[in-house]
Structure 1
C-alpha cells in the first residue's frame, strides 16, 4: 500500500497544457487525488513533472542478447530472418530463473528511462523442447515476480503462437517453446491471469495473437472471444517477406486483410506496421487502433520506416516500445521516430503541428497511445488516474532555463536517461535521484545470468 504523497513542481504538463507551481496529491491507492496550480511549495519538490508513458511492446528475454548478433553470419546478406535464427538458438538455454532475472533488469531499466509501465508481449512459454512446465504459466509468473520486485505497472500479454507459417507448417525447433493449441493456451491464459491478479490493482492482462504468420483466421476469433473487453496486440506488416507470404496465402496485404476481416478498434494495438501503402496508413489511422512503434528495434532489424507523417495527419494514435530491448531509452525511441521521418522526407520538424512542437507531439502521443494500448487508467496528470509520472533533473545543463514545450524538445533531441530524476508508477516512487530503489540487487542478479549464458551460447 502506498502512503499519501504530495509532489510540487515548478512546471507540470497537465491535460490542458503547461501550468506553474503545481501541487499534486496522491492517495494511498496510488491514484492522483488533486492537481492544484499556483500553489505554495510543499511536499516533494521537483522542477518539471510529466506524465510517464507505458512501454507498449517488449520481449524481455531478448535483453540478454544485446550485442550478440552484430557479426555477419554465413549468409551473403544479414536480415531480420538471420537474426531470428540466432534468437531461436539463444532460447535453448534460458531457464525460468534466467528469464525472471532478465525481466527484472529490463523493467528496472525501463523505469529509469522514464516509462512507468510495460505491456509485455509474452511468448516464451515452455521448456526448450516444447514440453510445458508442470505449471503452464510458470514463465508468466516470472514476469509478475519481476514486476513485484521493480514496482513497474504490468499489462501481461500471453501470446498465441500455433504455426511456423501461413501454410500451417509445424513449429521449427527454435519455436517450440512458443507453441500452444487452443485449449492449452486458454488454460495458460487463465494461469497468467491469476498471477497478474496477485499484483497491484493497476496491473492487467490482454491477449496477443502473434502475427498472421503464426495463427490462422479462425484463431483470431478465438483470441477475441478469450480477450472479452481486454486489449489485443499483434505484430503486423513488419517485413517485406511477411507481406509477400500473407498476400500469397490470404489474397491481400497484412494490414488490408486484417482491417477487412477483423473488427479492429480502440482495443487493438498493431505492432510495427512498417510495410503499409498510403491507403492502408489512412485506414489504420481511422480505425482507432494504436500503432505500436519500436524505432530502435525497427532500425536494428532493418524493418523499414513507419509512415508517421501521413498517419498522424489523419489523427492516428501511436505509442512506443523497446521490443528487442537492445537499448532501452524512451527519448531515443521518440527521437528515432521523428528522425526516420526527416531522413525519408528530407525535412525537419516533420511531426510538429502549427500549435505543438515536435517534442510535444511525440510526448503527448506516446503517453496517450501507451495508456490506450495497455488499457491502463493513466495518460495524464489528472485526478482519478494512476499516478504514472516522472520528474526531470533540473541540474542537467541541457535543461537549464527551459520552459514549456522547449523542455520536451530539449529532452527528446538533446537528452538521455540522465535527465530522468524520479519516476512514480501508480504512486510507487521507484526511481529516486536517477536510480531504481533496488538497482544493485537487480543488476547483480542479471550479471549472474549473463555469466551463465555466456558460457553456453
Structure 2
C-alpha cells in the first residue's frame, strides 16, 4: 500500500503528530491523518516529514561553471565581469554536456531537499548561433535530465533578443540565446507534448527588460496566454543597480515600476531577484500576487544586494527560493543565507519568524514551499504546495538519529537542519510523486551521474 507514517510532519497548517499519509498510483496524496494510531505493516519515516522544496530559479549549465570565477580579474570585479566569463563557458556547452550536467545537478538537488525545479533555459542554439536541426534539442535534453533524475520540472524557455535597453543589437557572444517572438511561441508548441508526457509544466521566461523590447514582451505574453492561459511567466528584474540606472535612462522609470505599468503582472509571474525596489514598488508588486524569486547564495556570490523581505511580507508578498547559478545547491542553505542576510542588514535575529510561526525555520519553509509551488505553476491537482490531499506526494524525511537532530522535538530538528548541520547530512530520504528518489541520503544514480558530470565539465572547461 502507498502509505507512510511519521511521528511528526510539517503540514501547511503547521506541525502535526502521528501523521499517516497515503497516496495513489498517480503520485497524489489521498489522505493526511494526524493523531493516527501506528498502523501495522506501514513504513515509518526515519524522522520528521517536511514538504518538498521547489527550486524556483535554475540555470542548469552554470553548475559546471561554479567555483571557476572566484578570482579578481580586474580592479573592480562585478556581476558584469562575471557574466563575460559565463558567456565564454556557455559558448562551449553541447547537448550531450548539458544533459550530463543537468542530470547530475537535479540529483544534487534531490539529495539537498529540492523536489522540483524551474529551469530558466536560455542556451537554445548551436555554438555558432544557428538553430539545431531540431530546434528543441537543448530543451529536450533538460526534460530528459529531469526524467532520469526523477525531478519535477517547470521548463521556462527564455526569450532573449537584445543586449540592452532601447533594443541594442545582441552581442556576438549572445547568439546562442536569440529567438524571435514567433519562433519562441513555435518552440512552446513543439515542447507541449513532450512536457505533458512526463507531467512537466511549460512556461515562458522573458529574460529581462534589457533583453526583451516592449512590443516583444507584449506579444509573447499574449501568445503564451493563447497556448497555455495559466502558464507561469518568470523574468529577471532589478537585480543590479546598473540595470536600474539604465532603465531610468531609457524610460524614465525603474524596472519594476515600468513592468507594473506596462505588463499584466499577476499571480502567474515570478519576479526573479527584484533586489533593488523602492517602497512603492514593494507595495505595488506584492499587490499583483506575483512571487518574488529570491536566490540568496547566488545574490551573495554576485554581489547583487539584499532583498528587503520584512517589507515584502508587510505587504503580503509571496516568495520562494532558487539556486540560480548553483554556486550552492542546497535548499536549507538558501534559507539560512536568506535569514542571515536579513540579520546582517538589520542587526536583529529570527527576522523571518512570523506571528503564526515563531520558529524561523518552520516559517521560512512553509512560505517558500507555497511561493515556490505557485511560481512553478504546480498547484492542485497534483501540485507541490505541501503535504495535503490533492498535492503531489513530494516530501523530505529528516534523520532523527543524526547527531545535530537527535533527541530534539520536531521544530527544533528542522531548525538544527537549517542552522546547525551540514544541511544535507541530516536528510534521510526524498520522495517525488510517491517514488523514493533518495534513500539514506543518496540517489541511486549518484555515482554514475557524478562521473558523467565530471567528464562533461572537464571537456567544457578545456574548450572554454
TM-score between both structures, scaled by the size of structure 2: 0.95
Give me the whole-angstrom Cα distance separating, in 2, the residues matched to 1:87 and 1:296.
17
The alignment of Structure 1 onto Structure 2 pairs a total of residues equal to 451
How much has 1:17 moved relative to structure 2? 2.1
Q: Contact 1:158–1:192 (CA<8 Å) still a contact in 2?
A: no
Residue 387 of structure 1: which of 393, 405, 411 is its match?
A: 393
User: What is residue 107 of structure 1 aligned with on the other side?
Assistant: 106
| Maintained 8 Å contact 1:10/1:48 | yes
**What residue is the counterpart of 1:10 in the other structure?**
7
Q: Output the CA distance in 1 between the equivalents of 2:332 and 2:223.
A: 35
C-alpha deviation, 1:89, in angstroms: 0.8
| 1:208 and 1:223 in contact (8 A); partners too | no
User: Is the contact made by 2:208 and 2:236 (CA closer than 8 Å) also made in structure 1?
Assistant: yes
Shift of 1:401: 2.2
- Matched-pair contact (CA < 8 Å) for 1:157–1:206: yes
Residue of structure 1 in register with 2:49 after alignment: 49
**1:140–1:195 Cα contact (<8 Å) kept:** no
CA distance in 1, matches of 2:26, 2:194: 20
Question: What is the CA deviation profile of residues 63-114 of structure 1, one whole-angstrom value per residue up to 9, with x for unaligned ones?
Answer: 00011111111x2100000000001111121110000101101111111110
Provide the rounded CA distance (Å) in 1 between the counterparts of 2:61 and 2:53. Answer: 21
Please give the alpha-carbon distance, in whole angstroms, between the structure 1 residues aligned to 2:29 and 2:241.
45
1:60–1:103 contact (8 Å) kept in structure 2 = yes
Counterpart Cα distance in 2 of 1:16 and 1:76? 51
For structure 1, which runs of at least 5 residues remain unmatched after alignment? none
Say if 1:349 and 1:358, in contact at 8 Å, map to a contact too.
yes
* Per-residue deviation, residues 204-263 of structure 1 (Å, max 9, x unmatched): 100110000000111221221232221100000000100011111121001111111112
Contact kept? 1:8, 1:45, Cα under 8 Å: yes
- Bigger drift between 94-103 and 278-287 goes to 278-287
Spell out, residue by residue over 1:38-72, the C-alpha distance to the aligned partner (whole angstroms, 9 max, x if none). Answer: 22144221121011121000000000001111111
Aligned counterpart, 2:37: 39
Q: TM-score, with normalisation over the residues of structure 1? A: 0.96
Q: How big is each residue's C-alpha offset from its partner over 1:417-445, in whole Å with a ceiling of 9 and x where there is no partner?
A: 11111111121211111001211221121
Task: String of CA shifts for 1:148-186, please: whole Å, max 9, x gaps.
Answer: 110100110011001111121221121110001122212
> In the alignment, which residue of structure 1 is the partner of 2:375?
373
Shift of 1:373: 0.4
What is the distance in 1 between the residues matched to 2:408 and 2:218? 50
Which residue is equivalent to 1:339? 340
Q: Is 1:423 paired with 2:436?
A: no
- 2:254 match: 253
Is 169-178 or 138-147 further displaced after alignment? Answer: 169-178
| Cα deviation code 1:359-392 (max 9, x no counterpart) | 1121011100010001111211111111111100
Deviation at 1:353, TM superposition (A): 2.3
Matching residue within 398, 405, 408 for 1:399: 405
Match of 2:446 in 1: 439
Which residue in 1 is equivalent to 2:135? 136
Match for residue 19 of structure 2 among 19, 22, 27: 22
Unaligned runs of 5+ in 2: none
Q: Could you tell me which residue of structure 2 aligns to residue 227 of structure 1?
A: 224
Note if contact 2:78-2:302 (Cα within 8 Å) is conserved in structure 1: yes
Other-structure match for 1:177: 176
2:415 to 392, 409, 420: 409
**Displacement after TM superposition at 1:191 (Å):** 2.1
* 1:204 and 2:201 aligned: yes
Counterpart Cα distance in 2 of 1:368 and 1:302? 27
Distance 1:331 1:17 in 2: 18
Once the two structures are TM-superposed, the CA of residue 146 in structure 1 deviates from its matched residue by 0.3
Worse-superposed segment, 383-392 or 39-48? 39-48
